[in-house]
Structure 1
């Protein structure tokens, strides 16, 4: 007979289960031993009213686990009611309930009314034993205990209704927003950030506490085409395709291709290379010069069934793909040293040969190409919510429920850590370049911004400021940076901030490497294999083990000794270096290697194999800098806020005052469009601050050549026209994401290097710089709300208008805060674009004030100089003064634009902007409410205070109405002036 036994928590944890089907509980924790299925133990634990943790294992007891890298200690004291029937155990809170079957262990989540939110599929918990192979551990495999080699692979599958949509998972480059029916491999890579969190438009999220390589969608890997289709060459012979390689001199090689599988560089040592799969660039024609060549793979594929086949194209260089005579992949490009993947689908009929043609133009000395396809699955299987983890001690996930998607993300940050208030200057403009090579370049560039009155806050020193053979020394090369302190003082005199690049990478000859290695805190595979990087003659190197607490402390000490405290101004107690650019934090020990070798290169870690801890490096590395910098100040007054920018990310990164950028993306229109969905899904993965290399990083040769022509002749050829328009459109886009920054390879990206002063590109870029700074009260209030209310700044339309099914997969529009909908232009020479206005409200054109009804698909004007931006009825936007840096002047006069048609709310947040006094309550908020029926604005009592706060200010309230449109005028619009001294005041408009 099944029993519900109430025991103490300690007794529950150590209890040996008796008969199958028994349920044990204590407080808000239930453990069940199912009578069928693979899971022998399933545990439900209430963490909060809307959060339930679920663990499962194939062992008799749940394993003891280290403290989570993702989840912070929880202080809530949840209340719940536990009940049992013959077949189930239910754990119910005030907001939801979780029900587990005692027979199967399947879990169902319901809302407070009993309506099902999510139901585990039949057999939805699947497990496989996993042992880490020696080659993934690498040269230190003998030092890894057997207990760290063994774990579980698992798959978790839930049923999903047809009207459900999925988001999150991090930042990916596939032009995908709604992930329903899609597949995504979750690993870290330059331009790819993987986060183990998915959120549904049904107002729940799943956060799985695992650090290994994962997959969303199908659990198995994509396959070589010949494993799914019958292949025929261009002459109709079965078993292979035809590959035709033509070099730049016209020499040609024609050969049979049983697969297109040239996706990675060969590991460096022959004995290691022999252990790889059959793929890799080593199998391309020997001695053939790829750069400048033309390659065609062609033939026919025959599908085993009618289906929409899902393909994965891996590429560097220029690629086009045709199937059945139709172009299914228009030309795409990626630089040769940083390959990309591209997903596409194609409907194929059963048993009919369809022509396949891949046209590839390699663009560099070593280039990559590969085509894979997913095994056919039923539409039902594709539409399920499926998560697979390669290696974990057990299945461990959190179900998070909320009445809105914001509440779900709030639950995620309750689990993973509250975001601090990021420094105000970080919301301003950043100028970067790959790279400033001298201190003089840094100083003169910032001075030129000031001379031209172009707003800017932050200038960035990218990599290689050290002596050539001293990567990881954290020391400036004296010949190029003769007086770093004078450079930093110059930047600060110009009211700038200075960010510097620090990699977790060290040359083996540096003292820092030796100090870390002496303690066992360096990865050894790279130097053992004699890997040399691309600098100068090439130098042996490796990365430090950020999973070790001791290594993190030493890593920070080396940064502190050589950079941070060394350049602090002890007299004024201000930092010389304001922020950190933590590059290559995937970690990227070597590009373009097979997955197993990447694991060997970045492990074993202090916590276990890199197979188990594959994805979490960026968060432990961020821990090192955040807690390291804060330890330097130890509570002294005016402590500057930590700020990190990292090229990789993971769940919980926000708690370390860390933002992420989208890596070394290309400079093409398709790359710009990909950042729109990348930024939205990264934000929906719960991480609030994101940006990109505005303008793209890696540059096509045609743009370089066009810039040379301009420099030599002053002629703006067609490629230069396109380059300037691309940079302009990207700047317009960048104004409406959390981080507004430009970066990239040559041609340079400073506005005057993009176009001359009288060019529409220069004028538009300057206009959006100034708009960004006028919006600072709006932007910083959002940053405050991120901290206080777990807010999300870059908001896919589903977050605010999810009941309108038209918005579930809009990839190129989003809300930037509550009152601005950005609609960037992502096509060359486009002067109009199609938009959708969500039906829940009316909308106003930001520039003209013209009113448009919601629920419409429209084609609207998009001139070179502007992108469409709309404000919802009820929107409130505070515009501040014209400024050239964020703390140049206080917002004594705010132009408060109010848009009629609905009631509106806005909370103005302010503090000192750069220190941690807000943690002690030294901040202020002002609630603003617009009553549309009465046409009345109320500015509420100010709450709180801080040193330097404006005790009185003016609000010039400008009402924009359907019957009275007003064009945007941020300087001196006609409105009603309110003199405000901190007490509530209301006026009729």
Structure 2
């Protein structure tokens, strides 16, 4: 006898019945409900473009509260008609067809063009015992077009752009972050609203989600017409993206790990002394002392004797500090004892396993560290209370929430039987990062609106974009393959609706490049130097530019001195990032206000060019910049074969004084770039113009990352600074790339509070008319405290052959004084 669950409907049911052809259905405020082949089926419109499909065995009762979906269903005007064995529901945007004989659901455009079909009899319920409760494993299969490209699923380290023809086991882990969502090149998206371990399979037969635990089949279909539209629908469904502070878009230095507060402050001082821009530094683990005090959220380590002075010293250098916090607690922390007494800890192997700080773990001394129940409201309260008292009260600027999967080591089936506030851990496993990150965000927002929440975290799930989090791709190995994988990983994550992605620049585990284990010499190893520089150059064009890793020190001064090619390449990449800050911050407003994206798969802007559908090594950054990172080693061997056991290099290579081979980074190399069809493109460095729809060869140096500006673009260039807010944007250079009409909106606000939500911000719109060769700087809209009232714009009309780039002195075409009133600039 099946256990009955209470089922709550969020809709009113009308008494309209139709009994034609022996079938019946009820019309509801949101759609219809019916029973077909002993399966109850509900179709609910959540808007004109989004529809929810809910299925469960006839007679079952249960309560389903989505953790991801926050949109309330809206009463939508729709029409119902019948044609043979089918019921057709039409909103203003989409058509949903239900086969009354077999229960198959199909989705079409309003004009009848097919979008997606369920597979006939593709929904399955299999009896399953979940931690003693009778429930089901659930699956649903779909039929895709043979050559249809799909994107999403999260951060996958598989190097694939289109996610067809594979099977993926979706259980959150260190380097693979899963979101049960994909979108199609046809302009629709599908969110499978289930949080248990799930298998995604795509093959010739079908495309399927199969989840271990589910009281029901529950998914949302959305039609956006294009990728941006689908992203907008997904965010409307699961949450919009708040603004990050301006300083988060500067350069971040980190290491595993700084051992003392003086060491941290010394790094910032050294960057200031060298004149290399820096906005933030990160303190990794063990500032709390030993593993038994894991995540105590207090400075218990003797290396940090004056926590308030530590924070103040960083701030006095005009830098920001974020700090490592975890999803688990050691047995000697006050949090552990309080949570244990309340039954809010889960018992399975997590990091660190040993109380001794050794590798491999010494299991003769188990750490006793346990993960907390982040699904429990009171547990979230306890977490924040200690975080607030121990760290936030000191003025720490943001949170590095590590192991938000959480770490689950030596996995045993019974581990998933752990009880949480919402049922078994198995039932809600994949939503853990959403819940733990959400707890911190919501508590900080309640406490103050003067400081924007910024969370750097290792895992993500659908809806997490609403919680002020930037997800990094985990503890990757330092390799060219890992670097190449980051481009499609970040793009597919973006296409799930979460725009904030970054990776450990240089890769986390770099010990293979050392002369001996963990001696920290790899910064002088040319193999690592080349990889690091190319990863850093890619990092310029990600939402967070952050250097981090273990086995060696990543600060610029360990790579050489000014005037040396590797040092100069690192410095120039960082300075390039800062010159683009006005563009990046304005793009962040587009992300928040217009549901835009930072990293844009080329299919988002050039859908008609089928060559970009599965292109995994280029992307747009914002809507103007085409990024084509150098992803192959050009000066050093990429793979180590027939190596010298000491150096890791081929025998016979000339060896320098430091024990590493001598490499000349000065020769000019080349890289191939595909320019999408549908626009012409300017080489940022030379201003040479190219037609789209062709592959070109770009000359490169160690100091060059190939990137191109789309014709019609307007790019603001910021001042030379040591940190993001050092200088006002009162004398910006505005580059206009002629060849097509274009527009750009420069966004400004107070940089680090939530007053923008009250309308305290300003925008200045620039519009380029290519035929008339005129730039209109429109009336400024909005106001905020500290806003620049009068300013100068230096306007540069970029055409083929004119010098560009950071190292060339440019002559400006026009200098415009602007006081907020409309100005017309003629060329």
Query: Same fold by TM (over 0.5)?
Result: yes
Preserved contact between residue 46 and residue 73 of structure 2 (Cα < 8 Å)? no
- C-alpha separation in 1, matches of 2:312 and 2:279: 15
Distance 2:308 2:564 in 1: 37
1:871-914 Cα offsets, whole Å, 9 max, x none, are: 11112111111111111111111211111121112111111110
- Residue by residue over 1:672-722, the C-alpha shift from the partner in whole angstroms, topping out at 9 and shown as x without a partner, is 1111111111111111111000011012334353995969xx9x6xxx111
Cα distance in structure 1, aligned partners of 2:631 and 2:623: 23
Shift of 1:492: 0.5
Residue 182 of structure 2 is matched in structure 1 by 198
Could you tell me which residue of structure 2 aligns to residue 31 of structure 1? 33
CA deviation map 1:429-473 (0-9, x unaligned): 111100011000111001111111111111100011012131132
Q: 2:24 aligns with which of 4, 22, 25?
A: 22
Is 1:429 aligned with 2:427? no
Deviations 1:329-382 (A, max 9, x none): xxxxxxxxxxxxxxxxxxxxxxxxxxxxxxxxxxxxxxxxxxxxxxxxxx632x
1:159–1:385 Cα contact (<8 Å) kept: yes
Given the superposition, is the C-alpha separation of residues 533 and 871 from structure 1 closer, same or farther in structure 2, using an over 3 Å criterion? farther
Distance 2:194 2:24 in 1: 28
Q: Tell me if 1:47 matches 2:50.
A: no
Report 1:920-935 matches (<5 A).
920-935=758-773
Q: In structure 2, which of residues 383, 405, 419 is the aligned counterpart of residue 586 of structure 1?
A: 405
Aligned Cα root-mean-square deviation (Å): 2.5
Comparing 924-933 and 80-89, the one that deviates more: 80-89
Taking the aligned partners of 1:915 and 1:825, their CA distance within structure 2 comes to 37
1:815 partnered with 2:620: yes
8 A contact 2:511–2:550 mirrored in 1: no
| Aligned mate of 1:542, from 345, 355, 370 | 370
Matches within 5 A, 1:496-507: 496-507=319-330
**After the TM superposition, which of the residue ranges 619-628 and 694-703 deviates more from structure 2?**
694-703
Task: Tell me the residue number matched to 1:131.
Answer: 129
* Bigger Cα displacement from structure 2, 761-770 vs 114-123: 114-123
SS in 1 for 2:293: coil
Select 1:510's aligned residue among 333, 348, 357.
Answer: 333
* Closer, same or farther: CA 176–605 of 1 in aligned 2, 3 Å: same
The unaligned stretches of length 5 or more in structure 1 are 1-6, 138-145, 219-378, 568-575
Q: CA deviation at 1:972?
A: 5.0
Uncovered stretches (5+) of structure 2, i.e. residues with no partner: 1-8, 359-364, 636-668
| Match status 1:480 vs 2:303 | yes
Matched, 1:792 2:776: no
Partners of 1:167 and 1:837 lie apart in 2 by 21
| Alpha-carbon distance between aligned partners in 1 of 2:739 and 2:518, rounded to the nearest angstrom | 49
CA contact (8 A) 2:232 2:595 kept: yes
TM-score relative to the length of structure 1: 0.76
Alignment counterpart, residue 382 of structure 2, candidates 554, 574, 585: 554
- Residues 203-352 of structure 1 mapped to structure 2, 5 A cutoff: 203-217=187-201
Separation (CA, whole Å) in 1 of partners of 2:230 and 2:553: 41
> Structure 2 CA distance, aligned partners of 1:130 and 1:709?
51
Work out whether residues 541 and 621 of structure 2, in 8 Å CA contact, stay in contact via their aligned partners in 1: yes
Residue 595 of structure 1, CA deviation:
6.0
Q: Distance in 2 between matches of 1:597 and 1:702?
A: 40
Give the match for residue 854 of structure 1: 692
Conservation of the 8 A alpha-carbon contact between 2:713 and 2:736? yes
Q: Does 1:564 align with 2:401?
A: no
Shift of 1:622: 1.0
Return 14-23 or 43-52, whichever deviates more.
14-23
- Determine if contact 2:13/2:27 at 8 Å carries over to the other structure: no
Give 3-state SS (helix, strand or coil) of 1:861's partner: strand
Which of 804, 816, 826 is 1:978 aligned to?
816
| 1:255 matched residue in structure 2 | none
Q: Is the 8 A contact 1:543 1:589 kept in 2?
A: no
Which range is displaced more, 883-892 or 530-539? 530-539
Counterpart-to-counterpart distance in 2, 1:675 and 1:768:
18
5 Å-filtered alignment, 1:702-781, equals: 702-705=513-516, 720-781=525-586
Shift in Å, 1:402: 1.0
Q: 1:596 matched to which residue of 2?
A: 413
Q: TM-score, normalised by structure 2?
A: 0.90
Corresponding residue number in structure 2 for 1:157: 141
- C-alpha deviations, 1:160-194, integer Å up to 9, x for none? 12331010110011111111222222111111100
Indicate which of 588, 607, 612 corresponds to 1:802. Answer: 607
- 1:823-838 pair list within 5 angstroms: 823-829=628-634, 831-838=669-676
Contact 2:18-2:26 at 8 Å conserved across structures? no
Q: Quick check: 2:488–2:617 contact (8 Å CA) kept in 1?
A: yes
Structure 2 equivalent of residue 10 of structure 1? 12
Matches of 1:200 and 1:90, distance apart in 2: 23
Alignment partner, residue 665 of structure 1? 476
TM-fit CA distance, 1:553:
0.6
In structure 2, the residue corresponding to 1:614 is in which secondary structure?
helix
- SS of the aligned residue for 2:346 comes to coil
Aligned equivalent of 2:438, options 616, 623, 628: 623
* CA deviations over 1:817-870 (Å, ceiling 9, x no partner): 011111111122263222111110111101100001111022221211111111
What residue in structure 1 maps to residue 232 of structure 2?
410
Tell me the SS of whatever aligns to 1:33: strand
Among 110, 113, 125, the alignment partner of 1:112 is: 110
CA distance in 2, matches of 1:641, 1:530: 31
SS in 1 for 2:614: coil
Asked if the contact 1:41/1:57 (under 8 Å) is kept, the reply is yes
- Equivalent-residue separation in structure 1 for 2:546 and 2:172 (angstroms): 22
Q: What displacement does 1:559 show?
A: 0.9
3-state SS of paired residue (2:340): helix
Rate the CA distance shift 1:152–1:755 in 2: closer, same or farther, 3 A: farther
Q: Is contact 1:164-1:200 (8 Å) kept?
A: yes
1:968 and 2:805 matched:
yes
CA distance in 2, matches of 1:848, 1:394: 58
CA 1:419/1:835 → structure 2, altered by over 3 Å: closer, same or farther? same
What SS is found at the alignment partner of 1:217?
strand
SS across alignment from 1:397: strand
Equivalents in 1 of 2:246, 2:314: separation in Å? Answer: 17
* 1:13–1:811 CA distance, 2 compared to 1 (3 A): farther
2:345 aligned partner: 522
Inter-CA distance 455–77: structure 2 relative to 1 (3 Å threshold): farther
> For residues 463 and 684 of structure 2, what CA distance do their matches in structure 1 show?
35
How far 1:792 sits from its partner (Å)? Answer: 0.8
Secondary structure, in 3 states, of the residue corresponding to 1:130?
A: strand
Q: How does 1:341-380 map to 2 (within 5 A)?
A: 380=204
Q: Return 39-48 or 839-848, whichever deviates more.
A: 39-48
CA distance, structure 1, for counterparts of residue 273 and residue 696 of structure 2: 42
2:276 aligned to which of 454, 462, 466: 454
Q: CA deviation at 1:939?
A: 1.5
Partner of 1:269: none
Q: Following TM superposition, by how much is the alpha carbon of 1:524 offset from its aligned partner in structure 2, in angstroms? A: 2.9
SS of residue in 2 equivalent to 1:878? strand
For residues 530 and 494 of structure 1, the distance between their equivalents in structure 2, rounded to whole angstroms, comes to 34
Over 3 Å counting, the alpha-carbon distance change for 1:76 and 1:774 in structure 2 is farther
| Superposition deviation, residue 788 in structure 1 | 0.5
What CA distance in whole angstroms lies between the structure 1 residues aligned with 2:823 and 2:381?
52
Please name the residue that 2:93 is paired with: 95
Q: For residues 19 and 532 of structure 1, what CA distance do their matches in structure 2 show? A: 67
Q: Distance in 1 between matches of 2:511 and 2:765?
A: 49
